[in-house]
């Protein structure tokens, strides 16, 4: 499914793999791009973020400067995320969008499987290279896309879908005419809430179960998940190619239910590895199908702005969830915590199923 794509797409995937390999500080999903499509402000924010990370390398033990600069760096890098998502959509079309987005996701995970191992060796004795490496990775990614990606030479066929055709007006008028995008974002927030517990509640749960061995087991599970998604992404995308994106996301919710149900009912190490197979499969579907749906249902003229509004809304929904999950763990324990996560995934799955039915009804009406 990854054969025959334009070389621009492979260069973007290479840049993303470099970012994954240089992901030494916190997991961040970012795609670098040039201002050839007019995203110069976002490109500038990438550069500022990289420079701030490099500055941290000269004073890695500064207790005030490092947190402040890290916050600023990831703020500027985060500014580029909506526009970078729009770039991936602009480099693809409805016929290959699954392949393009999943290749970028797969490349990033391949790099991320290597990055944490490198960071582990650097952390104590060469802390400054945690920052230098991360900053240099961002700059190298910028250079790869800026000098190798040539958007003007790639002829992307114009979509036949009315939903992708350029429209006039503000982003708010577009969202007002397509309220299902807001509903979709709310449901994705529920899925992300469930997905985030792989790195929020799971390490705490493993420490609760296995004491000092918990962090070791969590590291093993994270490495296992990174390798796993590289293997299963093309297989899973091919298996769900006949389904709508919303139906695939409904499956993702069910996979989260199955995975977290297993760790709640039988909390042993072998069961955790089995559960993380289902959780990783759910992650693949969320991180690929969400972007495909938004690209397919947003006019090309407003993709970046719609992504910006919806990602901001998603972030606002998720920020309180970290406090909520900590409170539930401390107050009610892990059984209630996993029950809450499972309930959220069930609601998201049902909502996505209803959106899928609505989408099929609309397509049937259009074709008739």
pLDDT in tens, 86-123: 666 667 777 777 788 778 777 877 777 676 667 666 66
pLDDT at residue 263, rounded to an integer:
93
Q: Do 94 and 194 sit in the same domain of this protein? A: no
Q: Is residue 163 a part of any domain in this protein?
A: no
pLDDT at residue 132, rounded to an integer:
77
Q: Is residue 161 a part of any domain in this protein?
A: no
Last residue of a domain, which of 108, 129, 153? 153
pLDDT at residue 28, rounded to an integer:
26
Q: Do 107 and 217 sit in the same domain of this protein? A: no
Average pLDDT, the chain: 77
Q: Is residue 1 a part of any domain in this protein?
A: no
Using CA of residue 294, residue 297, residue 303, residue 308, what is the dihedral sign? negative
Residues 255 and 261: their CA atoms lie apart, in Å, by: 10
The model's pTM is: 0.75
pLDDT at residue 78, rounded to an integer:
57
Last residue of a domain, which of 96, 118, 153? 153
Question: 3-class DSSP state for residue 96?
Answer: coil
pLDDT at residue 29, rounded to an integer:
27
pLDDT at residue 260, rounded to an integer:
96
CATH number for the domain harbouring residue 329: 1.20.1250.20
Q: Is residue 287 a part of any domain in this protein?
A: yes
8 A C-beta contact, residue 90 and residue 156 = yes
Q: Do 194 and 143 sit in the same domain of this protein? A: no
- Which residues of the chain are modeled with pLDDT < 50? 24-45
Residues 134 and 118: their CA atoms lie apart, in Å, by: 11
8 A C-beta contact, residue 33 and residue 39 = yes
Q: Is residue 2 a part of any domain in this protein?
A: no
Q: Do 114 and 186 sit in the same domain of this protein? A: no
**Which residues, 6 or more positions from 194, have their beta carbon under 8 angstroms from its beta carbon?**
253, 256, 260, 282, 341, 342, 344, 345, 348
pLDDT at residue 34, rounded to an integer:
29
Q: Which domain holds residue 134?
A: 7-153
Q: Do 121 and 193 sit in the same domain of this protein? A: no
Q: Do 106 and 202 sit in the same domain of this protein? A: no
Q: Is residue 75 a part of any domain in this protein?
A: yes
Q: Do 128 and 194 sit in the same domain of this protein? A: no
8 A C-beta contact, residue 269 and residue 253 = no
Q: Do 359 and 248 sit in the same domain of this protein? A: yes
8 A C-beta contact, residue 37 and residue 90 = yes
């Amino acid at each position: 499914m990854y054969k025959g794509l334009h070389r621009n797409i492979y260069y973007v995937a290479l840049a993303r793999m470099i970012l994954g390999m240089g992901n030494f500080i916190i997991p961040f999903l970012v795609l670098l791009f040039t201002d050839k499509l007019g995203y110069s402000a976002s490109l500038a924010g990438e550069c500022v973020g990289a420079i701030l990370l490099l500055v941290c390398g000269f004073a890695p033990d500064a207790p005030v400067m490092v947190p402040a600069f890290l916050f600023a760096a990831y703020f500027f890098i985060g500014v580029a995320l909506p526009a970078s998502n729009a770039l991936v959509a602009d480099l693809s079309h409805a016929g290959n969008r699954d392949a393009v987005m999943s290749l970028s996701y797969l490349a990033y995970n391949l790099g991320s499987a290597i990055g944490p191992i490198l960071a582990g060796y650097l952390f104590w004795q060469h802390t400054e290279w945690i920052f230098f490496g991360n900053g240099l990775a961002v700059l190298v990614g910028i250079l790869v896309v800026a000098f190798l990606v040539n958007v003007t030479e790639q002829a992307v066929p114009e979509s036949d879908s009315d939903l992708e055709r350029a429209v006039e007006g503000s982003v708010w008028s577009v969202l007002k005419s397509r309220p299902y995008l807001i509903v979709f974002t709310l449901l994705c927030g529920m899925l992300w809430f469930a997905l985030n517990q792989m790195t929020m509640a799971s390490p705490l749960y493993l420490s609760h179960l296995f004491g000092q061995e918990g962090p070791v087991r969590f590291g093993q599970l994270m490495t296992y998940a990174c390798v796993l998604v590289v293997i299963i992404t093309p297989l899973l995308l091919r298996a769900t190619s006949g389904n709508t994106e919303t139906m695939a996301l409904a499956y993702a919710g069910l996979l989260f239910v199955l995975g977290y149900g297993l760790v709640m009912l039988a909390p042993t190490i072998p069961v955790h590895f089995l559960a993380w197979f289902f959780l990783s499969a759910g992650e693949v579907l969320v991180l690929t199908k969400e972007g495909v749906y938004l690209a397919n249902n947003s006019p090309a003229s407003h993709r970046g702005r719609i992504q910006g509004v919806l990602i901001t809304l998603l972030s606002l929904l998720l920020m309180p969830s970290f406090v909520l999950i900590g409170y539930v763990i401390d107050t009610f324990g892990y059984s209630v915590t996993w029950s809450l996560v499972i309930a959220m995934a069930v609601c998201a799955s049902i909502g996505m199923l209803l959106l899928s039915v609505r989408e099929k009804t609309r397509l049937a009406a259009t074709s008739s």
